[in-house]
Amino acid sequence: MPVKIRLQRHGKKGKPFYWIVAADARAKRDGKFLEKLGIYNPNTNPATIEVNLDNSVQWLQNGAQPTDTARAILSYKGVLLKHHLLGGLRKGALTEEQVEEKFAAWMAEKEKAVADKIGGLDKAKAEARAAALKAEKEVNEKRAIAAAEAELPEAPEVAEGEIEVAEAAVEEVPAAEEVAEVAEEAPAAEEGKEEEAAPAASSEEE
Taking the C-alpha atoms of residue 93 and residue 162, their distance in angstroms, rounded to an integer, is 108
- Contact present, 130 and 138 (Cβ < 8 Å): no
pLDDT at 110: 86
The pTM score is: 0.55
- Contact present, 94 and 85 (Cβ < 8 Å): yes
**Which runs of E-coded beta strand occur in the chain?**
3-12, 15-24, 35-41, 48-51, 65-66
Taking the C-alpha atoms of residue 71 and residue 69, their distance in angstroms, rounded to an integer, is 5
What is the distance, to the nearest Å, from the Cα of residue 109 to the centroid of all Cα atoms in its chain?
A: 33
The DSSP secondary-structure symbol of 52 reads: -
Largest CA distance in the chain: 170
Instruction: Please give the chain's pLDDT, 206 residues, in tens.
Output: 689 999 999 988 889 999 999 999 888 877 889 999 999 999 988 889 999 999 999 999 999 999 999 999 999 999 999 999 988 888 888 888 888 899 899 989 888 888 887 777 777 777 888 888 888 888 888 888 888 877 776 655 545 555 565 555 555 555 555 555 655 555 555 555 555 555 454 444 44
Taking the C-alpha atoms of residue 77 and residue 37, their distance in angstroms, rounded to an integer, is 12
Question: 48 forms bridges with which residues in the sheet?
Answer: 41
Residue 14: its H or E element: none
